[in-house]
Amino acid sequence: MRVFVSVIVAVAASAAFSLSGEQPRGQPALSVALAATQPQIAQPPQAAPAQAPKPPQAAPRDTKAPKAGTAIIRGRIVAADTGDPLRRARLQLAAPELDKPRFTTADAQGRFEFTGLPAGRYTLTAGKTSYVTLQYGQRRAFEAGRPIELADKQIVEAIEFALPRAGVITGRITDDTGEPVAGASVSAMRPRYAEGRRQLIQIGRAVETDDRGEYRLFDLAPGSYYVGASSSLTSSVHGDALPFGSVYHPGTANPDEAQRASVKAGEVRSGTDILLQPIVLSKLSGVVVNAARGAPITEGSVLTYSAGGGVSIAAAVRPDGTFGIAGVPPGDYSLVATGRDPDLSGDLFGFLPVTVAGGDVGGLSIQLTTGGRATGRIVFEDTTTPPVLPAAITIFSDPVSRIGYGAGRVGTIRGDWTFELTGQLGPRLLSVTRLPQGWMLKAVTLDGRDVTDTPMVFAGTEEIAGVHVILSNRTTKVSGRVTDERGRDVSDCTVVVFPEDRARWTWRSRFIATARPDFDGRFSITALPPASYLIVALEYLEEGDAFDPGFLDLLRARAEKVTLDEGESRTIELKLLREAG
């Protein structure tokens, strides 16, 4: 029988929260998300490495024809420790203006060039085996990069990457008899605030253990890591043949009790071993029902989504409408079911939250419907001539909670700017993307009430009509510069703007924004809703922390206040904040 073990490596959260992005003291236990988020540099013409499965995303691909351009980006890549050029380092350039990312490699002098670029806002990423992959503007691997703003015919030649050497963690995985486990899949994860909670997010590529049960994780950014393993391997000691579950170094199922493995730049950290422990897995079973007919469906599928957002296990619905999903570890899940009705053109779908606590869960009933429907109109304020065609804008609804309500749903915008959103279920917020330059979302109204930040709740097949999505060209703007304690300009930092009203400190709040200063050291944030804000410049900000209420609490006492009215622009000078609290 083939043995397969999935091994997780997770960056440890610090006991105290600092501006280096570590976890705050007293933080609740982490949940685990299986979605990989740290970008990898792919070699052309290959695509970027595949990530773990996710629910469908809200925004569709932009299918407009690629733009021709005349701008150029040139630069050089060197090793941070020696200054030597990094020959054949790989670079990826991405922007909304490109139909797909562009790739190139550095020459013997570490130099690279991208030509024929249209004006736009670009993200440039560089990497090489045994070195840390970085975006332009990053000093450390887990902060946001700095975009490159390109004008038509502009030549940018000052781009330089200094890549630090990556660390390595090695160890050995054994079962509860001390035997080595071969074929383990090993990956890196890092705690990050996402979807309203701090959870472990997979970082980078996976490796496999050899016949000695040994693994070697490479290309790791310096930091402190958890090492954890999960397996469907059956224990050879226990007569009831219990499988092995998620276990962290050295042998605990609780990540809060795991021992950390810290690695420095260029360091090889050995001895991070894992002793697997057996756990009880559960079986979920039930029936999938077409709610309109009150009868089981005959064809469909059921997926389990973990609380962190990763797809766990999939199962087909049997001809009698029943389903069974075995091997489910303890945790909170959403069962996401889809099916078809022979008399309907679209899919049916339904969601059922389930908590698994070590025993089988049966008698489940997932009710499928076509979902609710929202209709309305997009209104451009103060003009009768919209600046773009309807196809240029995307409207979608996003669920307030991923557990139980699935992913975002994209709507249809007609030529008269009326729109329709179908398949709605649960509490959802409406939003728009790809807005024309100089325009912002002002409000979403229903029957004259502002519901921009108030979810519209769909319980079944009801219709909500008369929704107005109001766009305005009276955009707000806050801009300025950041200086240090000596009054010198600081460009290597991150500016965070967040509302004074703590009730608006929610995941992906439109009242929260970040920015990195550009080439001349100035920052600019546009299209914030009118409100009273707090603004601060940080030496380092890890991705996701700007939405963490605990992190914002540490910043608010030392942040500057700024009020934005409709259409108002404010200029502010910020002092760099090196420590929180």
Same domain? For 381 and 357 the reply is no
Report if residue 409 sits inside a domain: yes
Q: How far is CA 240 from CA 106, 237, 329, 357, 525, in A?
A: 57, 9, 16, 18, 60
* Paired sense of beta strands 426-433 and 394-399, if any: antiparallel
Report if residue 346 sits inside a domain: yes
250: preceding bond cis by omega (within 30 degrees): yes
Helix H or strand E segment including 392: none
Helix H or strand E segment including 425: none
Same domain? For 327 and 377 the reply is no
Residue 306 CB neighbour total at 10 angstroms? 22
Report if residue 376 sits inside a domain: yes
Report if residue 393 sits inside a domain: yes
Name the least confident of 1-15, 249-263, 436-450, 548-562.
Answer: 1-15
Same domain? For 416 and 464 the reply is yes
Same domain? For 493 and 506 the reply is yes
- Looking at 121, 139, 162, which one is the last position of a domain? 162
pLDDT in tens, 100-150: 999 999 999 999 999 999 998 899 999 999 999 999 988 888 888 888 888
Q: Which domain holds residue 290?
A: 282-368
- Looking at 436, 453, 472, which one is the last position of a domain? 472
178 or 19, higher pLDDT: 178
203 or 391, higher pLDDT: 391
Task: Give the number of C-alpha atoms closer than 13 A to the C-alpha of residue 309, restricted to the C-beta side.
Answer: 24
From CA 396, how far away is CA 381, in angstroms rounded?
20
pLDDT of residue 580: 62
Supply the Cα-derived Rg of the chain in whole angstroms: 25
- Looking at 162, 197, 215, which one is the last position of a domain? 162
pLDDT in tens, 459-477: 778 899 999 999 999 999 9
Same domain? For 171 and 269 the reply is yes
- Across the range 71-87, mean pLDDT stands at 96
Same domain? For 296 and 269 the reply is no
Report if residue 561 sits inside a domain: yes
pLDDT in tens, 26-69: 333 333 333 333 333 333 333 333 333 333 333 344 444 556 68
pLDDT in tens, 228-273: 776 666 665 544 555 666 777 788 777 777 788 899 999 999 999 9
> How many residues are present in the chain?
581
Report if residue 58 sits inside a domain: no
Task: Give the number of C-alpha atoms closer than 13 A to the C-alpha of residue 574, restricted to the C-beta side.
Answer: 35
- Residue identified by tokens 């076509």 is 370
CATH number of the structural domain spanning residue 467: 2.60.40.10
Same domain? For 364 and 441 the reply is no
pLDDT of residue 461: 80
Same domain? For 394 and 331 the reply is no
Same domain? For 143 and 172 the reply is no
pLDDT in tens, 394-410: 999 988 765 555 667 89
CATH number of the structural domain spanning residue 485: 2.60.40.1120
State percent of the chain over pLDDT 90. Answer: 48
pLDDT of residue 185: 76
Report the mean per-residue pLDDT for the chain. Answer: 82
pLDDT of residue 519: 67
Q: How many helices (H) and strands (E) does the chain have?
A: 1, 44
Same domain? For 270 and 170 the reply is yes
Same domain? For 467 and 378 the reply is yes
Q: For the chain, how many structural domains are there in total?
A: 5
Report if residue 55 sits inside a domain: no
Same domain? For 378 and 467 the reply is yes
283 burial type by CB count under 10 A (0-12 exposed, 13-18 middle, 19+ buried):
middle
Report if residue 251 sits inside a domain: yes
- Backbone dihedral region for residue 211 (phi beyond 0: left; psi -120 to 50: alpha; all else: beta): alpha
